[in-house]
């Protein structure tokens, strides 16, 4: 014969467990609440960094006739398209060109081939407020009518361009899209394939290779002594 015995629960233990459960639920609610209400961390976007870099070049020289190079450098890249119009055609073919509204910050703003741009088209970087930064004899801020050619529309930069990190925005002394931190020739422009140094040649036709003018810097890079 089996006898069933009803055991009375330990009241103190039960209350302790309930208290622990309530505490855990309260903590969980606090965590979930913070996840819902907290604003995401704000970091400078690719477009913001492109605009900041372009603004840092206002008044400088070296980009006259090189508008496509200028916008590519703003995004920390180079050698993507031979001309601004080639860039435009690629973005148009991908359905990325917009013709309405004010171009947002960092947008590439395209203009048609015309005599004023040698038939190569023109591209500028939008500041997002109806003003644009463009290359000319000096990098300058202009309005939408400055280019002297029909406006074609705007596009976001291709994702493949990557963009500059926060630390690269104003740290490319020679404007060759190779950041000073990795540029072996930070004061002399050169392709990334040559570590930011000029390709060996004879720039002043004196019979000496360009490499003969490279002098080491204390940071491990080089500069050109001419």
The 10s digit of each residue's pLDDT in 160-181 is 998 887 665 646 778 777 777 6
Average of per-residue pLDDT across 116-136: 96
Torsion of CA 191, 195, 198, 199, to 10 degrees: -80
Mean pLDDT computed over 27-37: 44
CB contact at 8 A, 97 and 155: yes
Say yes or no to pLDDT of 95 above 70: yes
CB 201 within 8 A of CB 188: no
Query: What token pair was written down for 150?
Result: 């029909």
Contact (CB, 8 A) for 53 and 170: yes
Q: Is the pLDDT of residue 42 over 60?
A: no
Phi then psi for residue 63, to 5 deg, are -120, 15
Q: Does 101 have pLDDT greater than 80? A: yes
Residue 196 has what pLDDT?
Answer: 77
How sure is the predictor about 35, in pLDDT bands with cuts at 50, 70 and 90? very low
Q: Give the pLDDT band of residue 3 (cuts 50, 70, 90).
A: very low
pLDDT tens digits, one per residue of 53-63: 999 889 988 89
Q: Where are the alpha helices (DSSP H) in 38-66?
A: 46-56
Please give the class, per CATH, of domain 46-161. Answer: alpha beta
Cα–Cα distance, 53 to 100 (Å, whole number): 26
Confidence at 52, pLDDT banded by 50, 70, 90: very high
Domains of the chain, by residue range, sit at 46-161, 171-226
**90, pLDDT greater than 50:** yes
d(CA 194, CA 185): 10
To the nearest 10°, report the CA torsion of 180, 169, 161, 116: -100
> What pLDDT is recorded for position 167?
60
- pLDDT at position 98 is 98
pLDDT at residue 31, rounded to an integer: 41
């Amino acid at each position: 014969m089996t006898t069933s015995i009803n055991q009375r629960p330990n009241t103190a233990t039960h209350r302790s467990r309930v208290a622990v459960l309530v505490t855990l639920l309260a903590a969980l609610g606090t965590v979930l609440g913070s996840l819902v209400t907290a604003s995401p961390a704000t970091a400078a976007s690719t477009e913001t960094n492109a605009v900041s870099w372009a603004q840092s070049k206002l008044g400088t020289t070296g980009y006259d006739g090189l508008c496509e190079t200028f916008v590519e450098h703003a995004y920390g890249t180079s050698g993507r398209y031979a001309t601004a119009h080639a860039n435009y055609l690629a973005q148009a073919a991908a359905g990325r060109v917009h013709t309405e509204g004010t171009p947002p910050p960092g947008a590439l703003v395209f203009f048609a081939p015309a005599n004023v741009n040698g038939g190569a088209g023109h591209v500028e970087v939008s500041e997002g407020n109806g003003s644009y930064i463009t290359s000319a004899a000096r990098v300058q801020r202009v309005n939408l009518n400055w280019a002297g050619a029909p406006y074609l529309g705007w596009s976001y930069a291709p994702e493949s361009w990557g963009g500059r990190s926060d630390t690269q925005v104003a740290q490319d002394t020679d404007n060759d899209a190779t950041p000073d931190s990795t540029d072996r020739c930070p004061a002399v422009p050169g392709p990334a394939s040559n570590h930011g140094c000029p390709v060996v040649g004879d720039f002043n036709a004196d019979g000496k290779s360009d490499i003969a003018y490279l002098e080491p810097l204390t940071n491990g890079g080089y500069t050109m002594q001419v």
